[in-house]
């Protein structure tokens, strides 16, 4: 397989490298010294960077995204993280979480929230890690219990990127069946304005302007349409145990690697 960059990919790399060197690097040090980035600053950066395909990078053009591929993603984020690592975090989490909505959200959710996310107007985070659990997602303690028309979420999340500035959180949790007490893994999108939660900044030694939060969900009531339509699709990515990840039978030949979208970028480059 040929992994050389295409002409378009090389042009994308040159263009973003120039932009990051000229516009981002000169302000990065000072921004990082000031501590966690404000929401207004994050939005400003997102709106500027979306022109290059940084926001919702892998979201298809059909869904209103740039429709780039896993080849352009590292080109974009290598440059941004080189120039300003904290901003790479803010934008990378927004972009990846927007992709999770496009891939797993039901139609109503997509129609309602994708446009704001893809414009850089709204900010999203993915809340998986917990204080008692760390990376062991199978042991997640945050619970959602159905109550009439709603899910009621209780639990604490830790180290959540963008957690203090996010309008939306995709929360990985266990859904409890009140009749049997059985629990199954799931994800619920929480819209802060409708279903308030609290978050507290965790100050760090490095990447200081990358907001990172402890998030507390206390009887947080979420409407049913916000339940993740395709169950565990993104949970698989979040390292839930193997049973959720289909594997080919042993002895099968390796599957060829396939790109899932167009390999050209087509956004206007200023």
Nearer to ligand FAD, 128 or 144 (CB): 128
Contacts with ligand FAD by CB under 6 A lie at 93, 125-129, 134-136, 159-161, 212
Q: Which is nearer to ligand FAD, 199 or 212 (CB)?
A: 212
Q: Which residue is nearest to ligand FAD (CB)?
A: 134
Q: How far is CA 224 from the centre of its chain?
A: 21
Identify the CA nearest to 123 among candidates 87, 77, 165: 165
Q: Nearest approach, Cβ of 97 to ligand FAD (angstroms)?
A: 8
Q: Of 128 and 173, which CB lies nearer to ligand FAD in the complex structure?
A: 128
124-127 and 168-176 beta bridge pairing: parallel
Cβ distance to ligand FAD smaller for residue 12 or 96? 96
Contacts of 58 by beta carbon, 8 Å cutoff, 6+ apart: 65, 67, 68, 69, 70, 73, 95, 99, 102, 260, 261
Find the shortest distance in angstroms from Cβ 217 to ligand FAD: 13
Strands 168-176 and 212-222: unpaired
Q: Which of 137, 63, 134, 57 is nearest to 97 (CA)?
A: 57
- 148: burial class by Cβ within 10 Å (0-12, 13-18, 19+)? exposed
- Least CB distance from residue 239 to ligand FAD, whole Å? 8
Q: Considering only CA atoms, which of 146, 223, 228, 222 is closest in space to residue 187?
A: 228
Min. distance of Cβ 253 from ligand FAD in angstroms?
31
Q: In angstroms, what is the minimal distance from the CB of 188 to ligand FAD?
A: 14
Q: Other CB atoms closer than 10 Å to residue 256's CB: what's the count?
A: 6
Q: How far is the CB of 14 from ligand FAD (least distance, A)?
A: 29
Least distance between ligand FAD and beta carbon 85 (Å): 10
- Residue 12 or 238: the one with the smaller Cβ distance to ligand FAD is 238
120: alpha, beta or left, given left = phi > 0 and alpha = psi -120 to 50?
Answer: left
Compute the least distance from the CB of residue 173 to ligand FAD, in Å: 12
Comparing CB distances to ligand FAD, the nearer of 12 and 169 is 169
CA distance 53 to 269: 10
User: Are the beta carbons of 125 and 255 closer than 8 angstroms?
Assistant: no
Smaller CB separation from ligand FAD, 35 or 64: 35
260: left (phi over 0), alpha (psi -120 to 50) or beta: alpha
Looking at beta carbons only, is 191 or 265 nearer to ligand FAD?
191
């Amino acid at each position: 397989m040929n992994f050389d960059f295409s002409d378009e990919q090389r042009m994308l790399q040159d263009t973003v490298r120039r932009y990051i060197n000229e516009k981002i690097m000169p302000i990065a040090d000072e921004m990082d010294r000031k501590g966690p980035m404000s929401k207004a600053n994050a939005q400003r950066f997102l709106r500027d960077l979306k022109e290059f395909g940084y926001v919702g990078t892998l979201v298809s053009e059909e869904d209103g995204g740039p429709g780039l591929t896993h080849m352009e993603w590292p080109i974009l984020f290598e440059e941004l993280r080189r120039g300003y690592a904290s901003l790479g975090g803010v934008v990378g989490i927004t972009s990846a979480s927007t992709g999770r909505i496009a891939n797993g959200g039901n139609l109503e959710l997509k129609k309602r929230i994708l446009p704001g996310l893809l414009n850089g107007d709204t900010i999203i985070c993915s809340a998986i890690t917990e204080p008692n659990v760390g990376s062991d997602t199978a042991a997640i303690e945050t619970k959602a219990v159905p109550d009439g028309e709603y899910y009621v979420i209780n639990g604490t999340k830790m180290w959540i990127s963008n957690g203090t500035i996010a309008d939306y959180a995709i929360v990985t949790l266990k859904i409890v069946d009140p009749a049997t007490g059985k629990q199954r893994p799931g994800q619920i999108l929480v819209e802060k304005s409708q279903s308030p939660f609290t978050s507290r900044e965790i100050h760090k030694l490095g990447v200081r302007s990358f907001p990172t939060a402890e998030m507390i969900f206390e009887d947080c009531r979420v409407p049913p349409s916000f339940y993740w339509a395709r169950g565990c699709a993104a949970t698989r990515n979040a390292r839930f145990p193997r049973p959720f990840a289909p594997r080919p039978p042993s002895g099968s030949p390796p599957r060829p690697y396939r790109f899932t979208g167009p390999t050209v970028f087509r956004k206007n480059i200023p």
